[in-house]
Amino acid sequence: MSEISWDLFHEQVSACTMCPLHATVTNKVPGQGDIHSPLMLIGEGPGQREDEEGIAFVGAAGQLLTKMLSAIYLPRDRVYICNVVKCRPPNNRVPTEEEMQACMLHLRMQVALVRPKVIVLLGSTALKATLGPNHYITHERGRWYERKGVWMMPTYHPSALLRDPEKKRDAWADMQSLRDRLMDLSLYPDIYQQTSSPDI
């Protein structure tokens, strides 16, 4: 197998015809952000704005995601953001199992390239695609899983928070748990600098 690289990843996504979604897109949306980030966020798939711009999470859900990150002092450009599927499903429907499986090749390559220490799974599609079909967001949000040395936490998708603001309380608890995990792992030391307790 040829050695993986970001060039190869982007070439493979732009040439991909492995599922029908490629035929109806304006732009593919591979993902973007800090390719050396210890934190990766995975959503479901591009919406209309993302399809128009070729950038993940730039619509209303993306704006809320930016706010959620800044609530734990993380600038958006310090994380890597992508989706399970790189092509917009028509009418923003949930991607089919076949579409998700076809696109997993790209997601696996992305994870191998970024090598994040922590992954946040935004919503049911990202949870099921990554941890398996028998996982349920309502039961498992906020729970931590360790897989091959990578910590993963499912939380609500920001679109779900826009539809049902009552979920925001749980989402905030999940963001605090994320911040605590990043601190425990000594990630982002410039942001989460531990101040030593003052001498008494």
Q: 33: which 2 tokens?
A: 């952000």
For ligand URA, which stretch binds (CB under 6 A), given 55-63, 70-78, 108-116, 175-183?
55-63
Per CB under 6 A, which of residues 155..184 are in contact with ligand URA? 159
Q: Which residue among 30, 38, 47, 89 contacts ligand URA (CB under 6 A)?
A: 47
C-beta of residue 145 within 8 angstroms of C-beta of residue 131: yes
**Using the rule CB under 6 A, is 43 a contact of ligand URA?**
yes
- Neighbour-count burial of 79, counting CB atoms closer than 10 A to its CB (0-12 exposed, 13-18 middle, 19+ buried): buried
**Using the rule CB under 6 A, is 44 a contact of ligand URA?**
yes
Q: Which is nearer to ligand URA, 72 or 88 (CB)?
A: 88
**Using the rule CB under 6 A, is 30 a contact of ligand URA?**
no
The alpha carbon dihedral of 114, 115, 116, 119 has a sign of positive
Q: 58: which 2 tokens?
A: 């730039």
Distance from C-alpha of 126 to C-alpha of 107, rounded to nearest angstrom:
11
Per CB under 6 A, which of residues 60..79 are in contact with ligand URA? 61-62
For ligand URA, which stretch binds (CB under 6 A), given 7-15, 45-53, 70-78, 175-183?
45-53
Distance from C-alpha of 78 to C-alpha of 37, rounded to nearest angstrom:
6
For ligand URA, which stretch binds (CB under 6 A), given 51-59, 66-74, 98-106, 130-138?
51-59
The count of chain residues that interact with ligand URA, using the rule CB under 6 A, is 13
Inter-helix orientation angle 97-114/124-131, to 10°: 70
C-beta of residue 49 within 8 angstroms of C-beta of residue 9: no
* Side chain identity at residue 36, one-letter code: H
Cβ 4 to ligand URA shortest distance, Å? 23
DSSP state of 75: -
Cβ 48 to ligand URA shortest distance, Å? 9
Residues 6+ apart with CB under 8 A from 60: 159, 162
**Using the rule CB under 6 A, is 83 a contact of ligand URA?**
yes
For ligand URA, which stretch binds (CB under 6 A), given 39-47, 94-102, 133-141, 170-178?
39-47
Residue ranges in contact with ligand URA by CB under 6 A: 43-47, 50, 56-57, 59, 61-62, 83, 159
